[in-house]
Structure 1
Amino acid sequence: MTLRQFEYLVTVVDEGSFTRAAELLHVTQPALSHQIRALERTVGTPLLDRLPRGVRLTPAGRAWLPHARAALADADRATTAARRAAGLECGELRVAAVYSLTLGVLPPVLRRWRARHPDVRVRLFEHRHADELRAAMLDGLADVAVGPGPAGWPGFSVELGEEEFVVVLPPGSPHPDPVDLGDLADEGWVHYAPGNGLADVVDAACAARGFRPRAVVRTEQTAAAPVLAAAGLGPALVPRNVLPARFDGVVRRTDPPVRRRLVAYGHREPDPFTAAFVELLVEAGWGG
Structure 2
Amino acid sequence: MQTEAIRAFVAVCDLGSFQSAADALHLSQPAVSKRLANLESRLGHALFDRVGRGVALTEAGRAYLPHAREMLAVLQDGERALDNLGGHVAGPLRLALSHHVGLHRMPDILRAYVQRYPDVAPEIVFEDSEAACRSVVNGDRELAVITLPTPAHPILLEEDIWADPMSVFVSRSHALATGAALEPAALANHPAVLPPTESYTYAIIRAALASHGVTIAPRMTSHYLETLGMLAGAGMGWTVLPSSMRQDDLVRLEIKGLSIGRRLGAIRHPQRSLSNAAGAMLAMLEQARDKAR
TM-score with structure 2 length normalisation?
Answer: 0.78
Residue 188 of structure 2 is aligned to residue 185 of structure 1? yes
Give 1:269 shift: 5.4
Give 1:89 shift: 8.9
Q: Cα gap change, 1:145/1:287 in structure 2, threshold over 3 Å: closer, same or farther?
A: farther
CA distance in 1, matches of 2:74, 2:30: 28
2:161 equivalent in structure 1? 160
2:251 equivalent in structure 1? 250
Residue 283 of structure 2 is aligned to residue 284 of structure 1? no
Q: Give the alignment's Cα RMSD to 1 decimal.
A: 3.5
The residue correspondences of 1:124-203 to structure 2 (distance < 5 A) are 124-130=124-130, 132-147=131-146, 148-149=148-149, 151=152, 153=154, 156-173=157-174, 174-176=177-179, 180-203=183-206
CA distance in 1, matches of 2:78, 2:248: 45
CA distance in 1, matches of 2:27, 2:280: 39
Residue 274 of structure 2 is aligned to residue 274 of structure 1? no
Structure 2: segments with no counterpart, 5+ residues: none
Residue 263 of structure 2 is aligned to residue 264 of structure 1? no
CA distance in 1, matches of 2:180, 2:160: 29
SS of structure 2 residue aligned to 1:93: strand
Query: Residue type matched to 2:216 in 1?
Result: P
1:163-199 CA-partner distances (Å, limit 9, x unpaired) = 2222222135524487654322211111233444333
1:55 equivalent in structure 2? 55
CA distance in 2, matches of 1:88, 1:261: 32
CA distance in 2, matches of 1:248, 1:71: 51
Contact 1:172 1:250 in 2 (8 A): no
Give 1:80 shift: 6.8
CA distance in 1, matches of 2:94, 2:278: 9
CA distance in 2, matches of 1:151, 1:198: 13
Q: Cα gap change, 1:153/1:2 in structure 2, threshold over 3 Å: closer, same or farther?
A: same
Contact 1:163 1:259 in 2 (8 A): yes
The residue correspondences of 1:3-82 to structure 2 (distance < 5 A) are 3-52=3-52, 54-73=54-73, 75=75
Structure 1: segments with no counterpart, 5+ residues: none
Contact 2:89 2:280 in 1 (8 A): no
Contact 1:225 1:236 in 2 (8 A): yes
1:100 equivalent in structure 2? 100
Q: Cα gap change, 1:263/1:111 in structure 2, threshold over 3 Å: closer, same or farther?
A: same
Moved beyond 6 Å, runs of 4+: 80-89
SS of structure 1 residue aligned to 2:123: strand
CA distance in 1, matches of 2:285, 2:253: 26
Contact 2:80 2:274 in 1 (8 A): no
Residue 224 of structure 2 is aligned to residue 225 of structure 1? no
SS of structure 2 residue aligned to 1:185: helix
Contact 1:155 1:269 in 2 (8 A): no
Q: Cα gap change, 1:145/1:34 in structure 2, threshold over 3 Å: closer, same or farther?
A: same
Query: Residue type matched to 2:207 in 1?
Result: A
Give 1:88 shift: 11
Residue 214 of structure 2 is aligned to residue 211 of structure 1? yes
Matched residues, percent identical?
Answer: 28
TM-score with structure 1 length normalisation?
Answer: 0.79
Give 1:104 shift: 1.9
CA distance in 1, matches of 2:179, 2:286: 33
